A = this chain, B = another copy of it.
């Protein structure tokens, strides 16, 4: 065995009394090996505690072996917002049994030491899925420069970013929600938006506005949230101050919607009798909420698997087109 280092295939072969090629065949389950040789190699492997060197193997097979899921948000948020767990779960599922690992890269992208940017530039992974991209992170630029195959989950904010992405028709979803409130007879319909530096926030606001306008109602009842529970509660409070007789509310995420309902309760409004509330995401929280949340379905798992699919194709050198999924409304108790 080579000095004091980990055993190599060479060592295994020598111990088993076969060539390196045959040892390799056994390791990789090639059927054309005599049983005796196979047994000898297997024995040598376990005696030596041999583990193949990934780098060497990868160098010759040229297989990609990891993709990054990039989330430019604090770890706090990543772990508290079910959207991210859903995405990560979806990506993991979609990768399925491919021998590839998913690396979660999170944190504020412009956080002093450029950790995230350095990581991405370092070429530690073979591809990237960017999940919660904001206007001011220059992620798409970094990725374009490094030519790292990447797919955005959610349309990139910058118009000029020519990056493949998968998105859901957020505007249509929000319109669905607003139309539902209109059809229910609501006349003073407000909205708690998502962050305005994200395309999802913008699009959901636009969809709401378009539908409310179409119904001939006022589109002034807008307060900005940030997709967190606290932000949603605060926005709801402001909305109620400005318009105490609010009777319909579209909240751009379920997590915010749940806390909006809480806030409405504190203010003495019943849901849906006084104020009808529609959320967005159809997250697990939607069914557990009291009253259960009427919400727009965000097909997170589908988006994730679609993103993986696109990414694998990009990594294959293909040129791919953005993919837009459709949404629907789930009517429960809150509206």
Contacts and interface: CB of A to CB of B under 8 A. Distances in A.
Given A54-B124, A102-B104, A75 B65 contact: no
A123 B79 contact: no
Interface in A74-119: 75-76, 78-80, 82, 84-85, 88-89, 92, 97, 99, 101-104, 115
A101 B103 contact: yes
A177 B287 CA distance: 36
A115 B115 CA distance: 31
A292 interface: no
Nearest to A101: B103
A245 B92 CA distance: 48
Given A54-B124, A59-B53, A124-B65, A75 B101 contact: no
A136 interface: no
Interface residues of A, number: 38
Number of copies: 2
Given A59-B56, A59-B59, A103-B101, A123 B85 contact: no
A290 interface: no
Interface string A46-90: 100101111110110000011000000001101110101100110
B79 A82 contact: yes
A330 interface: no
Contact of A103 (B55, B89, B102, B148): B102
Contacts of A147: 49, 51
A277 B89 CA distance: 35
Contacts of A97: 115
Nearest to A52: B123
Given A51-B147, A59-B59, A97-B115, 6 more contacts: A51-B123, A54-B55, A54-B124, A56-B59, A66-B66, A75-B85
